[in-house]
C-alpha cells in the first residue's frame, strides 16, 4: 500500500493535474479540420519556401553570368568561355581587330572554347543581346572556311547542343556582313553579345 500509497501521491498529483492537461489537450485537440488546415498551412509554407529557394538560385545564376568576371558555379553546373589565351570565365571578349573592317559578303570566323567544369552536362542555347545588321552564327567545332550551315542568331534563344560535364569544346562564331548590306553601313561599327544560356541536363 505504501507502494501504492507511495504511488498514490503521484496519482493524486496526476489527477490533480488532469483537469489542466485536459484543458490543454482540449485546446490542442487535433480535430479533422484542424489537422487538414495545419497540414495545408505547413505544405503551403514549405512550397513557398521551396519556390523561393529555386527562384533564388536562378536569380543568383543570372546575375552572376551578367556581371561577374569569374566562373560561377551553381551546384554542380559550371560553364566558362575562353578566347585565345585569355582567362576562362563567364564572359569572353573577342578582339575587334578580327572583323573591324569587313566588306559586304565577308564571313569572318573566330573560335572560343566553351568548358563545362562541373559534373553535370548542360544544354546550351544561344541568342544575341540585340539585333544587328551583321549576321552572327555560332556552332560547335572549329571554324570552317565557309559560312556555317546554321541560321544566324536572333534575340530568341536557339538550342545549340549539349556539353557533357567536365568537358570542353571549341565553338565557332562567325560574323557575316551580308552582300546586301546597305551602303550606309560603310565605315560603321557595332558591338554584339552572344548570350549562351546553359541548363543542367537532368540525370
Residues 108 and 145: beta-carbon distance below 8 Å: no
Closest CA to 116 of 165, 76, 159: 165
Residues 108-137: x/- map of binding to other proteins (CB under 8 A)?
x-x-x-x-----x-x------x--x-x---
143 belongs to the binding site for other proteins (CB under 8 A)? no
85 belongs to the binding site for other proteins (CB under 8 A)? no
Residue in 28, 53, 145, 151 binding other proteins, rule: CB under 8 A: 53
| Cα–Cα distance, 148 to 136 (Å, whole number) | 10
Q: Residues in contact with other proteins, total (CB under 8 A)?
A: 84
The minimum distance between CB 18 and other proteins, in angstroms, equals: 20
24 belongs to the binding site for other proteins (CB under 8 A)? no
Residues 160-189: x/- map of binding to other proteins (CB under 8 A)?
-------------x-x-x-xxxxx-xxxxx
Q: What is the DSSP string of 134-187?
A: SEEEEEESSPPSS--SSPPP-SS-EEEEEE-TT-EEEEEEEEE--TT--GGGTT
Amino acid at each position: 500500500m505504501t507502494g501504492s500509497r507511495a504511488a498514490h501521491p503521484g496519482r493524486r498529483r496526476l489527477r490533480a493535474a488532469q483537469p489542466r492537461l485536459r484543458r490543454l489537450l482540449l485546446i490542442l485537440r487535433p480535430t479533422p479540420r484542424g489537422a487538414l488546415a495545419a497540414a495545408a498551412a505547413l505544405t503551403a509554407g514549405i512550397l513557398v519556401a521551396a519556390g523561393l529557394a529555386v527562384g533564388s538560385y536562378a536569380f543568383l545564376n543570372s546575375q552572376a553570368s551578367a556581371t561577374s568576371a569569374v566562373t560561377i558555379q551553381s551546384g554542380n553546373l559550371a560553364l566558362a568561355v575562353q578566347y585565345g589565351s585569355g582567362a576562362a570565365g563567364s564572359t569572353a571578349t573577342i578582339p575587334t581587330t578580327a572583323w573591324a573592317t569587313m566588306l559586304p559578303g565577308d564571313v569572318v570566323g573566330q573560335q572560343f572554347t566553351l568548358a563545362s567544369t562541373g559534373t553535370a552536362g548542360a544544354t546550351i542555347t544561344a541568342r544575341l543581346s540585340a539585333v544587328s545588321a551583321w549576321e552572327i552564327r555560332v556552332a560547335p567545332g572549329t571554324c570552317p572556311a565557309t559560312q556555317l550551315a546554321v541560321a544566324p542568331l536572333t534575340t530568341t534563344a536557339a538550342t545549340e547542343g549539349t556539353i557533357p560535364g567536365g568537358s570542353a569544346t571549341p565553338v565557332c562564331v562567325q560574323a557575316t556582313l551580308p552582300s546586301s548590306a546597305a551602303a550606309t553601313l560603310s565605315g560603321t561599327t557595332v558591338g554584339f553579345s552572344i548570350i549562351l544560356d546553359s541548363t543542367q541536363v537532368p540525370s
